[in-house]
Amino acid sequence: MERKKINQILRCVWRFLGIAAAISAWLTILLSILQNQWFDLYKHALSDLGDPKANKPWIYNGGLIIVGAMTCVYSFYIVYRSSNKGHAFASALIFTAGVFLALIGIYPSGTRPHTFVSTWFFVQMWLATIATMIAMIMDRNTIYAIIPGIVAVAGPLGAVFIRWPSIALLEIFGILLIDVYIIVLTLYF
């Protein structure tokens, strides 16, 4: 196989790594729930699946570490394809979010830094959506900018004004918004 063809295949894999990370995150959550029949979406936090008291917490924690690494590698694709400094800045925020996601697996529920790293994962992704929206506006592509803008507004408003019965459902809401954002990035680049 020629080198050019291999490079094209690798770039294609790299481009879709964000979507692969999102799918891997959902698989991690699903496998962890299947291993922990006591888990209730209406009572718990997703991080309870990685608590040392959970059955096979390594599935959840290891999965988050892998998804965090995938997110970091995906962020390099964004900077590789970036057309302005705004996209490069968003890429850096996505990279940082990937690090915090991996740290959630390293510092699972019940450890002192857990609340900080889990909160900052969502904050970093929220900041990345704002940076992406601004970068898309700088590219004069306001149609695409609308979706990260909606995600950036819906996240905090939904977190504050919706009475979530559990942290898990709030986290799922945030993850779904991140998934929409990643799909838009993949389509955009």
What does the pLDDT read at residue 96? 98
The set of residues, in sequence order, having a beta carbon less than 8 Å from that of 30 and lying 6+ positions away, is: none
What does the pLDDT read at residue 166? 98
Domain count, the chain: 1
Question: Residue 51, Cβ neighbours under 10 Å: how many?
Answer: 18
Separation between Cα atoms, residue 94 and residue 88, nearest integer Å: 10
Q: Residue 138: give the domain boundaries.
A: 3-188
Compute the radius of gyration of the chain from its Cα atoms.
17
1, pLDDT greater than 80: no
- Read off the pLDDT of residues 128-183 as tens digits, 9 standing for 90 and up: 999 999 999 999 999 999 999 999 999 999 999 999 999 999 999 999 999 999 99
What does the pLDDT read at residue 83? 87
Separation between Cα atoms, residue 115 and residue 121, nearest integer Å: 10
Structure tokens at 170: 């709030």
27, pLDDT greater than 70: yes
Q: What is the mean pLDDT of residues 4-20?
A: 93
116 and 156 in contact (C-beta within 8 Å)?
Answer: no
Separation between Cα atoms, residue 175 and residue 189, nearest integer Å: 21
Half-sphere exposure of 55 (CA within 13 A, CB side): 9
- Read off the pLDDT of residues 72-121 as tens digits, 9 standing for 90 and up: 999 999 999 998 999 999 999 999 999 999 999 999 999 999 999 999 99
68: pLDDT confidence band, cut at 50, 70 and 90?
very high
The set of residues, in sequence order, having a beta carbon less than 8 Å from that of 50 and lying 6+ positions away, is: 32, 57, 60, 61, 64, 104, 105, 108, 109
Separation between Cα atoms, residue 3 and residue 17, nearest integer Å: 21
Region of poorest pLDDT, from 2-11, 20-29, 87-96, 116-125: 2-11
pTM of the full structure: 0.95
